Amino acid sequence: MTADQANSLTGKCALVTGAARRIGAVIAERLHAEGANVAIHYRQSKAEAGEFCARLNAVRADSARLFQADLNVGNELDKLVDSVVEWSGRLDVLVNNASSFYPTPLGQITEESWSDLVGSNLKAPLFLSQAAAPHLQTSHGNIINIVDIHAHRPLRDHSVYGAAKAGLVMLTRSLAKDLAPDVRVNGVAPGAISWPENGMSDSVKQDILSQVPLQRTGAPEDVAGCVVYLARDAGYVTGQIIAVDGGRSLGW
């Protein structure tokens, strides 16, 4: 086997959580374009996930499959991994992308919001990684966690989200040690890529962009490109968090 063949994603299987739309879908589509078979996880976006899956299978037959799971329900995590391996026969890449994001001002934090934000941003990546680990060790695969630049610097009124993402940074580094040498574990920390769907004023957007040396937002493709680099090309990289933020974190 040549070095190029060893690094190729062709015929390998990637599970991307939260892959029906937005950044997750772009990551899955890019991995698919590089030759991987993709397991498209979704929770509620069934119609969008179905259309996306059909589009990928039109390019390459039976190269994508839908998998529904609520990642905040513990026993569904093992079932998700088992179902993916039953379909593909292997697992090479796990991308923990699914995430809840919304403000939790102090005084309004509830047990429900805590469980949701910590569950999707920290607990699910941990237990999915644990379930996937034996398969990834067999394939000498890797885990890529989608973190956030605000894991390192607080975002006002987002204390629960920030704490969960900060935990995911430490989890990434810890798993890189625990799963070495067979499995690499890294993280990608996006900056201003896609504005939140729940709305953000133009003044807030402009304030954010004023802190970005490149003076523009990034695109989901920028994040997907970094994921492909870590999954395919970065054979000697583990335990790292790569910021895809246009330089915004330089001023921190």
Look-up of token digits 């995590």: 77
Q: What's the CA gap between 32 and 230, in Å, rounded?
A: 15
Give residue-wise pLDDT tens across range 84-93: 999 999 999 9
How does the average pLDDT of the chain come out, rounded?
Answer: 95
Of the residues 42, 102, 161, 229, only one is catalytic, namely 161
- Spell out the alpha helix ranges (H) of 8-143: 22-33, 46-59, 74-88, 111-118, 124-139
Architecture label for domain 3-245: 3-Layer(aba) Sandwich (3.40)
Does residue 200 or residue 153 have the better pLDDT? 153
- Residue 161 is among the residues annotated as catalytic for this protein: yes
Q: Is the pLDDT of residue 4 over 70?
A: no
Name which of 245, 244, 241, 188 is nearest 211 in CA terms: 245
Q: Where are the domains of the chain?
A: 3-245
Q: What's the CA gap between 148 and 241, in Å, rounded?
A: 9
Give residue-wise pLDDT tens across range 218-239: 999 999 999 999 999 999 999 9
The strands making up 13-16's β-sheet, listed across from edge to edge, are 64-68, 37-42, 13-16, 93-96, 142-146, 184-190, 241-244
Question: Per-residue confidence at 200, pLDDT binned at 50, 70, 90?
Answer: confident
Give residue-wise pLDDT tens across range 94-140: 999 999 999 999 999 999 999 999 999 999 999 999 999 999 999 99
The model's pTM is: 0.95
Give residue-wise pLDDT tens across range 36-79: 999 999 999 999 999 999 999 999 999 999 999 999 998 999 99
Question: Per-residue confidence at 1, pLDDT binned at 50, 70, 90?
Answer: very low
Q: Is the pLDDT of residue 199 over 70?
A: no
**Alpha-carbon Rg for the chain in angstroms:** 18
